[in-house]
C-alpha cells in the first residue's frame, strides 16, 4: 500500500507524528542530596544538629543499629538516636531548588527491645511546619527497609527551599533516625 492509498486519517496521524517526534517525551531531571556526599548539583552537605549527636552510620563502630551499607544510597547514612534526657532536638537540614522532594531513610525493624527503633518525625519547609509526619514502630521482623520514603512533596513553587527534618522530643520520645538521601526535581 503506497502512502497515497492510506486513508486520510492515517496520513494526517503520520504527518503529526513525523512533525513532532518529541511530544510527551519531556524528561524530569532527578537530583539527589546524599547524607554524606551532599547535593549532586551544588555539592552542599546537609547540616546535622547537634553536631555531636550524629554518626556516619556506615563507619560507626559504636552504633547499635547496623544496616547493610551495600543497600544504602552511595553506601552511607547518618544515624542518630534521641533520648528524653537530651537537651537539644536532633535535626537534618538542607537546601534545594525544585518543585518536588522525596526524603528516604533506612527503617530498622529489630526485635531487640534494648535498641530504640521507633521513628517519630516532623518536617519543616521554609520555616513552616508541615502537616505531614512520619511514625514507625518496629514489627520485630529483624528486616531493614531501604529506600523508604518518609516524606513526599510535590507541586512546590520552583524557588530555593530550606528543608528540616526533626526527631520528636519530649518525656516519652525515645526515637531513632537513619537518614539516607533525598531526591528532588
CB neighbours of 12 closer than 8 A, spacing ≥ 6? none
Q: Per-residue pLDDT tens for 5-47?
A: 656 655 665 555 555 544 444 567 899 999 999 999 999 999 9
Residues 6+ apart with CB under 8 A from 84: 169, 170, 171, 172, 173, 174
What would the grid cell of residue 17 be?
507524528
What superfamily would CATH give domain 26-184? Galactose-binding domain-like (2.60.120.260)
Burial 12-23 (b: 16+ CB within 10 A, else e): eeeeeeeeeeee
- Angle, CA of 30, 33 and 37, to the nearest 5°: 130
**More reliable by pLDDT, 67 or 110:** 67
**Sheet of 91-98, strands arranged across:** 47-49, 91-98, 159-167, 119-125, 128-136
Q: What pLDDT, in 10s, does the model give residues 41-99?
A: 999 999 999 989 999 999 998 888 999 999 999 999 999 998 888 888 899 999 999 99
Q: What is the pLDDT of residue 8?
A: 65
* pLDDT at 158 > cutoff 70: yes
Q: Which of 167, 180, 165 is CA-nearest to residue 81?
A: 167
Q: What is the mean pLDDT of the chain?
A: 88
pLDDT over threshold 80, residue 161: yes
3-state secondary structure of 8: helix
Amino acid at each position: 500500500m503506497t502512502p497515497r492509498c492510506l486513508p486520510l486519517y492515517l496520513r494526517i496521524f503520520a504527518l503529526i507524528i513525523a512533525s513532532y517526534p518529541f511530544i510527551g517525551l519531556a524528561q524530569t531531571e532527578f537530583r539527589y542530596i546524599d547524607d554524606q556526599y551532599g547535593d549532586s548539583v551544588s555539592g552542599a552537605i546537609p547540616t546535622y544538629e547537634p553536631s555531636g549527636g550524629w554518626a556516619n552510620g556506615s563507619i560507626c563502630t559504636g552504633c547499635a543499629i547496623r544496616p547493610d551499607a551495600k543497600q544504602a544510597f552511595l553506601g552511607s547514612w547518618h544515624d542518630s538516636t534521641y533520648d528524653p534526657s537530651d537537651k537539644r532536638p536532633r535535626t537534618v537540614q538542607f537546601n534545594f531548588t525544585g518543585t518536588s522532594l522525596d526524603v528516604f531513610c533506612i527503617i530498622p525493624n529489630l526485635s531487640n527491645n534494648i535498641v530504640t527503633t521507633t521513628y517519630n518525625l516532623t518536617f519543616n519547609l521554609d520555616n513552616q511546619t508541615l502537616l505531614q509526619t512520619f511514625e514507625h514502630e518496629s514489627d520485630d521482623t529483624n528486616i531493614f527497609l531501604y529506600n523508604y520514603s518518609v516524606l513526599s512533596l510535590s507541586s512546590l513553587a520552583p524557588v530555593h527551599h530550606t528543608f528540616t527534618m526533626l526527631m520528636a522530643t519530649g518525656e516519652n520520645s525515645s526515637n531513632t533516625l537513619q537518614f539516607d538521601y533525598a531526591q528532588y526535581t
